[in-house]
Amino acid sequence: MADLERLLRRRVAAKGWVTRTANVLADLLDQKTEVAGVEPRLVILDAKKECEVRLAALDDLQAQVECELELEAMEADLQAAWTFREDDWLSGADTEEEAASLLQEACSVMAEAGMELAKCTSNSSLLLDAVGQGQAGADGEQ
């Protein structure tokens, strides 16, 4: 089990690095971060490459963890890994509540522009509820 504990610690660190690099990439795409004298496209491509490297490292560690887990624990771990990848990482949020708030705000902004989020997949009922609340909130309902 010492190997599993070491792998779990390494996976936590890898998740942190994926989140950090994803946030940098998101800031570049949102033009919150500027790099003087460098073409924005090149900066974004560099950040994307760094993100891909960090995500590949996380995927490798996840596979190693799965090899060490008991079968009974593997299903829950896979679900948690997918939730991180789909919800936390993609939104850049640190918590499920923060991700829900971001989704709700995004739905409201889209609704104000006459658009609607047509499809949303998540492993979290909290996030799926946030999508509905964001769309209802834009119509004046709650």
- Which structure tokens are listed for 91? 């939104």
Choose among 52, 76, 83, 77: nearest CA to 63: 77
pLDDT digits (tens, 9 = 90+) for 74-127: 878 877 777 666 655 555 666 778 777 777 777 777 777 777 776 666 767 877
Report the residue count for the chain: 142
- Which structure tokens are listed for 127? 């996030």
In terms of pTM, does the model score above 0.85? Answer: no
pLDDT digits (tens, 9 = 90+) for 50-71: 888 988 898 888 888 888 888 8
Mind spelling out the 3-state secondary structure of 113-140?
CCCCCCCCCCCCHHHHHHHHHHHHHHCC
Whether the CB-CB separation of 96 and 125 falls below 8 Å is answered with no
Q: What is the pLDDT of residue 136?
A: 55
Choose among 46, 72, 73, 57: nearest CA to 19: 57
> Which pLDDT band, with edges at 50, 70 and 90, does 139 fall under?
very low
